Amino acid sequence: MRNFSRPKVVISKCFEFENVRYDGGVISSVFVKKLMPHVDFIPICPEVEIGLGTPRDPLRIVSVEGELRLIQPATNLDLTDKMTKFANSFLDSLPEVDGFILKSRSPTSAIKDAKVYPSANRKVAPISKGPGLFGRAVLQRFSDLAVEDEGRLRNPRIKEHFLTKLFTIASFREVKASDSSRNVVGFHSENKLLLKTYNQKELRKLGKIVANQKSKTFAEAIRDYEQHFFEALRKPPRCGSNINVLMNAMGYFSNRLSKEEKSFFLDSLEKYRAGKLPFSVNIGILRAWIIRFKEDYLAKQTLFEPYPEDLMDIDAMTTYCDGKDYWK
Protein backbone atom coordinates (compact mmCIF):
# COMPACT_ATOMS: atom_id res chain seq x y z
CA MET A 1 0.00 0.00 0.00
CA ARG A 2 1.32 3.41 -0.98
CA ASN A 3 1.23 6.46 1.26
CA PHE A 4 -0.66 9.11 -0.70
CA SER A 5 -0.45 12.86 -0.42
CA ARG A 6 -3.75 14.56 0.44
CA PRO A 7 -4.94 16.63 -2.52
CA LYS A 8 -6.44 20.07 -1.91
CA VAL A 9 -9.61 20.44 -3.98
CA VAL A 10 -11.96 23.37 -4.48
CA ILE A 11 -15.51 22.00 -4.74
CA SER A 12 -18.96 23.39 -5.36
CA LYS A 13 -20.53 23.67 -1.91
CA CYS A 14 -23.84 22.16 -3.07
CA PHE A 15 -22.18 18.71 -3.15
CA GLU A 16 -22.74 17.18 0.29
CA PHE A 17 -21.74 20.35 2.18
CA GLU A 18 -24.62 22.86 2.39
CA ASN A 19 -28.12 23.51 1.04
CA VAL A 20 -27.02 26.26 -1.31
CA ARG A 21 -28.60 25.25 -4.64
CA TYR A 22 -30.90 27.78 -6.25
CA ASP A 23 -33.84 25.61 -5.13
CA GLY A 24 -32.52 25.36 -1.56
CA GLY A 25 -31.31 21.78 -1.97
CA VAL A 26 -28.07 19.88 -1.56
CA ILE A 27 -26.72 17.31 -4.03
CA SER A 28 -25.81 13.83 -2.83
CA SER A 29 -22.65 12.47 -4.45
CA VAL A 30 -21.26 8.99 -3.85
CA PHE A 31 -18.00 10.06 -5.49
CA VAL A 32 -17.54 13.07 -3.20
CA LYS A 33 -18.33 10.93 -0.14
CA LYS A 34 -15.64 8.45 -1.19
CA LEU A 35 -13.13 11.26 -1.66
CA MET A 36 -13.71 12.83 1.76
CA PRO A 37 -11.32 10.56 3.73
CA HIS A 38 -8.54 11.22 1.20
CA VAL A 39 -8.96 14.88 0.19
CA ASP A 40 -8.97 18.30 1.86
CA PHE A 41 -11.93 20.14 0.34
CA ILE A 42 -12.42 23.89 0.00
CA PRO A 43 -16.20 24.27 -0.56
CA ILE A 44 -17.49 27.37 -2.36
CA CYS A 45 -20.76 28.61 -3.85
CA PRO A 46 -20.06 31.66 -6.03
CA GLU A 47 -23.73 32.68 -6.21
CA VAL A 48 -24.12 32.79 -2.43
CA GLU A 49 -20.79 34.58 -2.10
CA ILE A 50 -22.01 37.52 -4.20
CA GLY A 51 -25.01 37.95 -1.91
CA LEU A 52 -27.75 35.87 -3.49
CA GLY A 53 -30.00 34.02 -1.07
CA THR A 54 -31.08 30.39 -0.86
CA PRO A 55 -33.43 29.59 -2.47
CA ARG A 56 -33.07 32.20 -5.24
CA ASP A 57 -34.30 32.97 -8.71
CA PRO A 58 -32.18 31.19 -11.34
CA LEU A 59 -29.42 32.89 -13.30
CA ARG A 60 -28.53 32.51 -16.95
CA ILE A 61 -25.76 33.53 -19.32
CA VAL A 62 -27.00 35.95 -21.97
CA SER A 63 -25.15 37.05 -25.09
CA VAL A 64 -25.48 40.85 -25.26
CA GLU A 65 -23.95 42.31 -28.43
CA GLY A 66 -21.43 39.48 -28.48
CA GLU A 67 -20.54 39.80 -24.79
CA LEU A 68 -21.56 37.15 -22.26
CA ARG A 69 -23.42 38.57 -19.26
CA LEU A 70 -24.72 36.89 -16.10
CA ILE A 71 -28.38 37.85 -15.76
CA GLN A 72 -31.14 37.01 -13.29
CA PRO A 73 -34.22 37.08 -15.55
CA ALA A 74 -36.79 37.39 -12.73
CA THR A 75 -35.19 40.62 -11.45
CA ASN A 76 -33.33 41.69 -14.62
CA LEU A 77 -30.20 42.11 -12.48
CA ASP A 78 -26.87 42.00 -14.30
CA LEU A 79 -24.47 40.24 -11.94
CA THR A 80 -21.52 39.94 -14.32
CA ASP A 81 -19.26 42.47 -12.62
CA LYS A 82 -20.02 41.15 -9.14
CA MET A 83 -19.24 37.60 -10.18
CA THR A 84 -16.06 38.57 -12.03
CA LYS A 85 -14.83 40.56 -9.02
CA PHE A 86 -15.59 37.67 -6.65
CA ALA A 87 -13.94 35.07 -8.89
CA ASN A 88 -10.74 37.09 -9.16
CA SER A 89 -10.66 37.82 -5.42
CA PHE A 90 -11.33 34.22 -4.40
CA LEU A 91 -8.84 32.69 -6.82
CA ASP A 92 -6.20 35.25 -5.84
CA SER A 93 -6.55 34.25 -2.18
CA LEU A 94 -6.41 30.48 -2.69
CA PRO A 95 -3.57 28.44 -1.20
CA GLU A 96 -1.83 26.13 -3.65
CA VAL A 97 -4.47 23.59 -4.71
CA ASP A 98 -4.45 20.48 -6.87
CA GLY A 99 -7.88 20.42 -8.47
CA PHE A 100 -11.49 21.54 -8.78
CA ILE A 101 -14.82 19.68 -8.82
CA LEU A 102 -17.48 22.09 -10.06
CA LYS A 103 -21.21 21.95 -10.76
CA SER A 104 -22.10 21.03 -14.31
CA ARG A 105 -24.59 23.15 -16.29
CA SER A 106 -24.29 25.97 -13.75
CA PRO A 107 -24.19 29.50 -15.27
CA THR A 108 -21.48 30.30 -12.73
CA SER A 109 -19.51 27.09 -12.09
CA ALA A 110 -19.81 24.95 -15.24
CA ILE A 111 -16.61 24.27 -17.18
CA LYS A 112 -18.17 23.23 -20.50
CA ASP A 113 -21.96 23.00 -20.56
CA ALA A 114 -23.63 26.15 -19.21
CA LYS A 115 -26.37 27.22 -21.61
CA VAL A 116 -26.00 30.56 -23.38
CA TYR A 117 -29.19 32.43 -24.32
CA PRO A 118 -29.85 35.22 -26.83
CA SER A 119 -31.84 37.23 -24.24
CA ALA A 120 -33.14 37.20 -20.66
CA ASN A 121 -36.58 36.24 -21.96
CA ARG A 122 -37.31 32.95 -20.19
CA LYS A 123 -39.16 31.58 -23.23
CA VAL A 124 -36.23 31.66 -25.67
CA ALA A 125 -34.10 28.60 -26.44
CA PRO A 126 -30.34 28.48 -25.77
CA ILE A 127 -28.01 29.19 -28.69
CA SER A 128 -24.79 27.57 -27.43
CA LYS A 129 -22.95 26.16 -24.43
CA GLY A 130 -19.75 27.01 -22.60
CA PRO A 131 -18.18 27.58 -19.18
CA GLY A 132 -19.89 29.61 -16.47
CA LEU A 133 -18.30 32.86 -15.33
CA PHE A 134 -16.55 31.38 -12.30
CA GLY A 135 -15.69 28.20 -14.21
CA ARG A 136 -14.12 30.25 -17.00
CA ALA A 137 -11.91 32.09 -14.51
CA VAL A 138 -10.80 28.74 -13.04
CA LEU A 139 -9.91 27.39 -16.48
CA GLN A 140 -8.00 30.55 -17.39
CA ARG A 141 -5.84 30.30 -14.29
CA PHE A 142 -5.72 26.63 -13.41
CA SER A 143 -6.05 24.64 -16.62
CA ASP A 144 -2.92 22.67 -15.65
CA LEU A 145 -4.67 21.20 -12.60
CA ALA A 146 -7.25 18.42 -12.31
CA VAL A 147 -10.44 20.32 -13.17
CA GLU A 148 -13.75 18.55 -13.81
CA ASP A 149 -17.48 18.77 -13.19
CA GLU A 150 -19.57 16.09 -11.48
CA GLY A 151 -21.42 15.23 -14.68
CA ARG A 152 -18.28 14.33 -16.61
CA LEU A 153 -16.90 12.43 -13.61
CA ARG A 154 -19.61 9.82 -14.12
CA ASN A 155 -17.59 8.65 -17.14
CA PRO A 156 -15.08 5.98 -15.98
CA ARG A 157 -12.23 7.15 -18.24
CA ILE A 158 -12.62 10.79 -17.25
CA LYS A 159 -12.80 9.81 -13.57
CA GLU A 160 -9.69 7.63 -13.82
CA HIS A 161 -7.69 10.40 -15.50
CA PHE A 162 -8.96 12.97 -12.98
CA LEU A 163 -7.97 10.86 -9.96
CA THR A 164 -4.59 9.91 -11.42
CA LYS A 165 -3.79 13.52 -12.25
CA LEU A 166 -5.11 14.82 -8.92
CA PHE A 167 -3.02 12.55 -6.69
CA THR A 168 0.08 12.89 -8.88
CA ILE A 169 -0.13 16.69 -8.73
CA ALA A 170 -0.65 16.58 -4.95
CA SER A 171 2.48 14.46 -4.58
CA PHE A 172 4.45 16.86 -6.76
CA ARG A 173 3.23 19.84 -4.69
CA GLU A 174 4.77 18.27 -1.59
CA VAL A 175 8.03 17.53 -3.41
CA LYS A 176 8.19 21.15 -4.58
CA ALA A 177 7.64 22.38 -1.01
CA SER A 178 10.38 20.09 0.33
CA ASP A 179 13.14 22.10 -1.35
CA SER A 180 15.00 18.82 -1.85
CA SER A 181 16.66 17.73 -5.07
CA ARG A 182 16.76 14.18 -3.73
CA ASN A 183 12.96 14.20 -3.42
CA VAL A 184 12.66 15.35 -7.03
CA VAL A 185 14.80 12.38 -8.11
CA GLY A 186 12.63 10.01 -6.07
CA PHE A 187 9.39 11.47 -7.42
CA HIS A 188 10.59 11.25 -11.00
CA SER A 189 11.80 7.68 -10.56
CA GLU A 190 8.54 6.46 -9.00
CA ASN A 191 6.40 8.17 -11.63
CA LYS A 192 8.52 7.25 -14.65
CA LEU A 193 6.23 4.57 -16.09
CA LEU A 194 3.10 6.61 -15.38
CA LEU A 195 4.54 9.66 -17.13
CA LYS A 196 5.72 7.45 -19.97
CA THR A 197 2.13 6.39 -20.66
CA TYR A 198 1.09 10.04 -20.73
CA ASN A 199 3.80 11.67 -22.84
CA GLN A 200 7.16 10.11 -23.72
CA LYS A 201 8.48 13.33 -25.26
CA GLU A 202 7.89 15.31 -22.08
CA LEU A 203 9.24 12.43 -19.98
CA ARG A 204 12.57 12.68 -21.80
CA LYS A 205 12.69 16.42 -21.11
CA LEU A 206 11.89 15.81 -17.44
CA GLY A 207 14.67 13.22 -17.25
CA LYS A 208 17.21 15.75 -18.55
CA ILE A 209 16.06 18.35 -16.04
CA VAL A 210 16.50 15.87 -13.18
CA ALA A 211 19.91 14.78 -14.44
CA ASN A 212 21.13 18.40 -14.69
CA GLN A 213 19.76 19.67 -11.37
CA LYS A 214 23.20 20.47 -10.00
CA SER A 215 23.74 23.12 -12.68
CA LYS A 216 20.79 25.19 -11.39
CA THR A 217 19.29 26.36 -8.15
CA PHE A 218 16.45 24.24 -6.76
CA ALA A 219 13.96 27.01 -7.60
CA GLU A 220 15.11 27.11 -11.23
CA ALA A 221 15.14 23.33 -11.65
CA ILE A 222 11.73 22.78 -10.05
CA ARG A 223 10.21 25.57 -12.15
CA ASP A 224 11.47 23.89 -15.33
CA TYR A 225 10.34 20.48 -14.10
CA GLU A 226 6.87 21.79 -13.21
CA GLN A 227 6.35 23.27 -16.67
CA HIS A 228 7.03 19.97 -18.46
CA PHE A 229 5.32 17.91 -15.75
CA PHE A 230 2.03 19.71 -16.30
CA GLU A 231 2.45 19.50 -20.05
CA ALA A 232 2.97 15.74 -19.75
CA LEU A 233 -0.31 15.32 -17.85
CA ARG A 234 -2.34 17.59 -20.12
CA LYS A 235 -3.98 14.74 -22.02
CA PRO A 236 -4.70 11.19 -20.82
CA PRO A 237 -2.70 8.21 -22.11
CA ARG A 238 -3.62 6.67 -25.44
CA CYS A 239 -4.23 2.96 -25.65
CA GLY A 240 -1.09 2.44 -27.69
CA SER A 241 1.06 4.18 -25.07
CA ASN A 242 -0.45 2.07 -22.31
CA ILE A 243 0.29 -1.10 -24.26
CA ASN A 244 3.88 -0.13 -25.02
CA VAL A 245 4.63 0.66 -21.38
CA LEU A 246 3.05 -2.57 -20.14
CA MET A 247 5.09 -4.55 -22.66
CA ASN A 248 8.22 -2.81 -21.37
CA ALA A 249 7.22 -3.74 -17.82
CA MET A 250 6.80 -7.36 -18.87
CA GLY A 251 10.42 -7.24 -19.99
CA TYR A 252 11.50 -7.17 -16.35
CA PHE A 253 10.19 -10.73 -16.02
CA SER A 254 10.84 -12.06 -19.53
CA ASN A 255 13.55 -14.54 -18.44
CA ARG A 256 11.38 -15.86 -15.61
CA LEU A 257 8.05 -16.38 -17.39
CA SER A 258 6.94 -19.45 -19.25
CA LYS A 259 6.10 -19.28 -22.92
CA GLU A 260 2.42 -19.77 -22.02
CA GLU A 261 2.46 -16.89 -19.51
CA LYS A 262 3.99 -14.51 -22.03
CA SER A 263 1.48 -15.57 -24.66
CA PHE A 264 -1.41 -15.09 -22.23
CA PHE A 265 -0.29 -11.58 -21.33
CA LEU A 266 0.31 -10.50 -24.93
CA ASP A 267 -3.13 -11.86 -25.85
CA SER A 268 -4.65 -9.84 -23.00
CA LEU A 269 -2.96 -6.70 -24.32
CA GLU A 270 -4.42 -7.30 -27.78
CA LYS A 271 -7.87 -7.79 -26.27
CA TYR A 272 -7.43 -4.47 -24.46
CA ARG A 273 -6.41 -2.84 -27.77
CA ALA A 274 -9.56 -4.28 -29.37
CA GLY A 275 -11.78 -2.98 -26.58
CA LYS A 276 -12.59 -6.46 -25.26
CA LEU A 277 -10.73 -6.26 -21.92
CA PRO A 278 -10.31 -3.34 -19.48
CA PHE A 279 -6.90 -1.87 -18.72
CA SER A 280 -7.13 -3.06 -15.09
CA VAL A 281 -6.86 -6.73 -16.15
CA ASN A 282 -3.39 -6.20 -17.59
CA ILE A 283 -2.33 -4.10 -14.60
CA GLY A 284 -3.52 -6.90 -12.33
CA ILE A 285 -1.42 -9.50 -14.15
CA LEU A 286 1.70 -7.37 -13.83
CA ARG A 287 1.06 -6.64 -10.15
CA ALA A 288 0.87 -10.37 -9.51
CA TRP A 289 4.23 -10.87 -11.20
CA ILE A 290 5.74 -7.94 -9.26
CA ILE A 291 4.81 -9.70 -6.01
CA ARG A 292 5.84 -13.14 -7.26
CA PHE A 293 9.28 -12.07 -8.46
CA LYS A 294 9.84 -9.35 -5.81
CA GLU A 295 10.59 -6.73 -8.47
CA ASP A 296 11.30 -3.72 -6.21
CA TYR A 297 11.64 -1.09 -8.95
CA LEU A 298 8.23 -1.87 -10.43
CA ALA A 299 6.68 -2.22 -6.96
CA LYS A 300 7.39 1.47 -6.38
CA GLN A 301 5.92 2.62 -9.71
CA THR A 302 2.79 4.74 -9.27
CA LEU A 303 1.43 3.37 -12.55
CA PHE A 304 0.24 0.28 -10.69
CA GLU A 305 -1.55 2.23 -7.94
CA PRO A 306 -1.94 5.90 -8.98
CA TYR A 307 -4.56 6.70 -6.33
CA PRO A 308 -5.98 5.00 -3.21
CA GLU A 309 -7.57 1.59 -3.67
CA ASP A 310 -10.69 2.82 -1.84
CA LEU A 311 -11.40 4.95 -4.92
CA MET A 312 -10.88 2.11 -7.41
CA ASP A 313 -14.52 1.15 -7.77
CA ILE A 314 -15.97 -1.09 -10.47
CA ASP A 315 -16.41 1.83 -12.89
CA ALA A 316 -12.79 2.92 -12.62
CA MET A 317 -11.62 -0.66 -13.24
CA THR A 318 -13.56 -1.05 -16.48
CA THR A 319 -11.91 1.53 -18.73
CA TYR A 320 -11.61 0.15 -22.24
CA CYS A 321 -9.91 1.25 -25.44
CA ASP A 322 -12.83 3.04 -27.11
CA GLY A 323 -10.90 5.52 -29.25
CA LYS A 324 -12.88 8.51 -28.00
CA ASP A 325 -11.32 11.82 -27.00
CA TYR A 326 -13.25 13.20 -24.03
CA TRP A 327 -10.95 16.20 -23.62
CA LYS A 328 -11.55 18.13 -26.84
Half-sphere exposure at residue 286, Cβ-oriented, CA atoms within 13 angstroms? 29
pLDDT tens over the chain, length 328 residues? 688 999 999 999 999 999 999 999 999 999 999 999 999 999 999 999 999 999 999 999 999 998 999 999 999 999 999 999 999 999 999 999 999 999 999 999 999 999 999 999 988 999 999 999 999 999 999 999 999 999 999 998 899 999 999 999 999 999 999 999 999 999 999 999 999 999 999 999 999 999 998 889 999 999 999 999 999 999 999 999 999 999 999 999 989 999 999 999 999 999 999 988 889 999 999 999 999 999 999 999 999 999 999 998 755 556 677 667 776 6
Q: Is 165 left (phi over 0), alpha (psi -120 to 50) or beta?
A: alpha
Residue 59, SS3?
coil
What confidence tens digit (pLDDT) does each residue in 158-201 have?
A: 999 999 999 999 999 999 999 999 999 999 999 999 999 999 99
Q: Determine the Cα–Cα distance for residues 181 and 164; give it in Å rounded to an integer.
A: 24
- In 3-state terms the chain splits into helix, strand, coil percentages (rounded to 5) of 50, 10, 40
Give the pTM: 0.95
Helices (H) and strands (E) in the chain, counts: 13, 9
Q: Determine the Cα–Cα distance for residues 278 and 281; give it in Å rounded to an integer.
A: 6
Secondary structure letter of residue 21 according to DSSP: S
**Strands (DSSP E) found in the chain:** 8-12, 40-44, 60-64, 67-72, 77-78, 99-102, 114-117, 128-130, 146-149
